[in-house]
Amino acid sequence: MASFKTLDDGDFAGKRVLVRVDLNVPMENGVVTDTTRIDRIVPTIRDLSDKGAKVILLAHFGRPKGERKAEDSLKPVVEPLARAIGRPVAFADDCIGPVAEAAVGVLANGEILLLENTRYHKGEEKNDPALVTALAKLGDTFVNDAFSAAHRAHASTEGLAHALPAYAGRTMEAELTALGKALGSPTRPVLAVVGGAKVSTKIDLLENLVSKVDILVIGGGMANTFLAAQGIDVGKSLCEHDLAETAKRILAKAKEVGCEIVLPVDGVVAREFKANAANETVPVSAIPADAMILDVGPQSIATVASRIDTAKTLLWNGPLGAFEIAPFDTATVAAAKHAAARTKAGALVSVAGGGDTVAALNHAGVADDFTYVSTAGGAFLEWLEGKELPGVKALSS
């Protein structure tokens, strides 16, 4: 990964600093229901405020597609944000133009201002140079702290980084450092655990991982496609039969480059997709025709645990089973706890990410015990696919 400047490298005192943050928080009826994303950006905001910067926050919310939709206003975020920072936060009704300029004009050093949703302007998602220029007028310096939005080349993520001197915020810095350690220059052996529903959403990811990691555990619904491609009858299990050739190609590539693929050898099967459905454990060679695999079985869990013991670095995306419904969360919880224990013992660097994965680790109660958990869904996956993220590339010095 190319190097980038951080908050330690600039002089921000008295400067107007435009800070791109992720405030796309869950909201119900105008009330923020989860402050995880808010909490993550606090260090950057406090740091800049302490350094005497005029902190001007830029963020998108929802998908208003260039229209001023009231339900996509960032206004309801002001109060929880101010509470999290422990300092007042001013708000301007627009992110460019006279309203924004006036609000920036009255800021004293160290004060914090949030500008309205960048996606109220069509130019945001188009990375329109006119919007970039209008935004750049408000600041002397740009700080990007929104890794989760870095896979998009938008005006406030990528465009601004070219228009003003650009720095990575603390959250971005932590994310890039953790991810760089896990896949850029990892301590080997490297183990990847990939689960989740479908192969179709993770083909690029599997192909990239096969060429980079030493061991790849495939679990969850997507393992069924690999089993079926090898002639195993998976009964009524979730399975993408049309991707049999893709699965075979990935297996062949793994063999060619010496990546060990670990597929389930047993499964917990049920006739209904619901909590506490009657279930039984069977070898994958004996899946009843009317049943579906909803979790990997105990023998498979033991194999995953042994590979976690072998590994020095772990990358994890996707649950091993239908973890939302007990008891089909068993394998995911067991593997997560095992990885957490190895991490705590100092034997493993563990990095996990992607929406459902964070939920699964929280469900297992071990998210805090992993080395790093990325909450950046799409950006994390694109990074795992080996793609260059435009918002990160633009920060490279």
- The set of catalytic residues is 37, 198, 355, 378
Shortest CB 334 distance to ligand AMP, Å: 14
Binding to ligand AMP by CB under 6 A, coded x per residue (else -) over 224-243, reads: --------------x-----
Q: What is the DSSP letter of 120?
A: G
The span from the CA of 279 to the CA of 300, in Å, is: 17
Rg (CA), the chain: 23
Place of tokens 């079985």: 297
187 in Cβ contact with 311 (< 8 Å): no
Taking contact as CB under 6 A, which single stretch among the options 39-47, 64-72, 191-199, 276-284 is the one that binds ligand AMP? 191-199
Phi and psi at residue 256, to the nearest 5°: -60, -40
Select from 34, 54, 32, 36 the least CA-distant residue to 45: 54
Using CB under 6 A, pick the residue from 324, 337, 341, 372 that binds ligand AMP: 324
Q: Is 322 in the site for ligand AMP (CB under 6 A)?
A: yes
Q: Is 319 in the site for ligand AMP (CB under 6 A)?
A: yes
Q: Is 96 in the site for ligand AMP (CB under 6 A)?
A: no
Interface with ligand AMP in residues 258-287 (CB under 6 A): none
* Amino acid at site 102: A
The footprint of ligand AMP on this chain (CB under 6 A) covers a number of residues equal to 18
Using CB under 6 A, pick the residue from 196, 235, 264, 297 that binds ligand AMP: 196
Report CA dihedral (78, 82, 83, 87) to the nearest 10 degrees.
-160
Q: Is 23 in the site for ligand AMP (CB under 6 A)?
A: no
Shortest CB 239 distance to ligand AMP, Å: 9
Using CB under 6 A, pick the residue from 221, 235, 264, 390 that binds ligand AMP: 221
118 in Cβ contact with 124 (< 8 Å): yes
40 in Cβ contact with 175 (< 8 Å): no
Measured at CB, which residue is nearest to ligand AMP? 196
Q: Is 201 in the site for ligand AMP (CB under 6 A)?
A: yes
Name residue 292's beta-bridge partners: 270
Tokens of 3: 């190097």
Taking contact as CB under 6 A, which single stretch among the options 11-19, 299-307, 313-321, 381-389 is the one that binds ligand AMP? 313-321
Using CB under 6 A, pick the residue from 32, 153, 197, 203 that binds ligand AMP: 197
Q: Is 318 in the site for ligand AMP (CB under 6 A)?
A: yes
Select from 77, 137, 314 the least CA-distant residue to 214: 314
